[in-house]
Structure 1
Amino acid sequence: MSCSLVGPVRALVLAKAPVAGQVKTRLGADVGLERAAELAAAALLDTVEACTAAYGAEHCHLALAGDLAEAVDGPALLAATRGWHVHPQRGEGFDERLAAAHADVADTGPGPVVQVGMDTPQLTPDLLDLVVAGLERHDAVLGPAEDGGWWVLALRDPRDAAVLAGVEMSTERTHDDTLAALRARGLDVGSAPVERDVDTVADADLVAAACPASRFARAWLGVDA
């Protein structure tokens, strides 16, 4: 099956404002909460830059928990997201917030959505293009993460993300459960390459090695920009 996409491709990033003690707490247990927030800010900047390069700021959406003005590297984050559509996250659990974020993008008009988080600073425009190419053959594209979750969900119709509400997130079965929910809605689901989220020191080492020119890698290695 092949299908031309209707409407512009939109990026959707779900993120927390990088504030010490509120982001990357698992990593922070090993490296300190302040440094974890600095790393989260670097990863978010890398992600925002990749999405802007791929789709243009006017087609990028940020579903945000918190306030970037209060975050580590707040001025840089505010500058990087200039021209983006910023929506406050809403909903109780992460599953509800995901579904609501997609619905907010759907309300702005037609077009597919490529949704990522702030844990994959190795993201590139080419990788995003590969995901979008999958939407020409499938209703949805889901990219598995090494830990059993997923790092990207692309949908021709973001309203289909309603099925995420009720799927338990952050478990070893999250990818498989999400895939089952999408298929139960009648969607044909393609796959994207497996990627690694940054949750631990080992993850950070591997991801930094994979994208040595990124802000995240420089922050992790203590190299000045």
Structure 2
Amino acid sequence: MTQLLVLAKTPVPGRVKTRLCPPWTYEQAADVAAAALSDTIVAVSSAPATRRTLVVDGDHPAPAGWTRLAQRGRWLKDRLANAFADTAGPPTVLVGMDTPQLTAKLLARAADFTDADATLGLAEDGGWWALGLRRAGDASVLRSIATSTPETGAQTLTALRDRGLRVTLLPVLRDVDTAPDARAVAQMCSTGGRFRSTVEAMTE
């Protein structure tokens, strides 16, 4: 069975989701980030896994039954690679906190290595929302790829294939960077979810 990692940043005003400002305040942006993280944790908690780990920047606590691990590295690309290295063992799927529309069904697809060495979920903005690896050492390819660019996802796919890995592509998702993103993604989320209710309350 696969272990699941959530790479997250503690929702502190002025340090998270600053591209939501304007139209929202730093405090509102932090509320949106907290809601996105909460719904992501709910989805990951409902998916089968040998272990669930919150790989966090800051002091946000791990949910009950989870492991907590501090992010390590100056740059995001190193923090991603180190998250795999520091939890090396079983096949691993890593997701972030920017796709609160995530479901247990999507995670199950990301964790299916039957005919793959890696699984990759590309994002609409050119990045990626999920990376699954049968072997943690293959995450070393991430250290040479610039993050947060329109080519990040495509370059990650190329690097994995150049390493000789069989890659299964997952559905493309929209992540939350701007207020229009947040409003669009909220409509994809469950009506009972925290993210949808948080965003709808801000846009009324």
Letter in 2 for 1:147: D
SS in 2 for 1:164: helix
**Separation in 2, partners of 1:182, 1:208:** 32
Cα offsets for 1:32-79 (capped at 9, x unmatched)? 1100000100110111111111035x61011110112xxxxxxxxx4x
**Separation in 2, partners of 1:137, 1:13:** 24
Spell out the pairing of 1:71-110 with structure 2 (5 A cutoff): 78=61, 81-106=63-88, 110=89
Q: CA deviation at 1:112?
A: 1.0
* TM-score normalised according to structure 1 size: 0.86
Q: CA deviation at 1:205?
A: 1.2
Letter in 2 for 1:60: R
**Separation in 2, partners of 1:219, 1:136:** 38
Letter in 2 for 1:167: I
**Separation in 1, partners of 2:21, 2:83:** 27
SS in 2 for 1:54: coil
- Preserved CA contact (<8 Å) 1:142 1:189: yes
Larger strand share, 1 or 2: 2
Is residue 139 from structure 1 mapped to residue 117 from structure 2 by the alignment? yes
* TM-score normalised according to structure 2 size: 0.94
**Separation in 2, partners of 1:212, 1:44:** 14
Question: Cα RMSD over matched residues?
Answer: 1.4
SS in 2 for 1:192: strand
Q: Which runs of 5+ in 2 are unaligned?
A: none
Correspondence for 2:134 among 156, 169, 183: 156
Q: CA deviation at 1:161?
A: 0.6
Letter in 2 for 1:180: T
**Corresponding residue for 1:18?**
11
- Preserved CA contact (<8 Å) 1:28 1:34: no
Cα offsets for 1:71-106 (capped at 9, x unmatched)? xxxxxxx4x612211111111110000000111110
SS in 2 for 1:194: strand
- Preserved CA contact (<8 Å) 1:149 1:171: yes
- Preserved CA contact (<8 Å) 1:143 1:150: yes
SS in 1 for 2:187: helix
Letter in 1 for 2:86: D
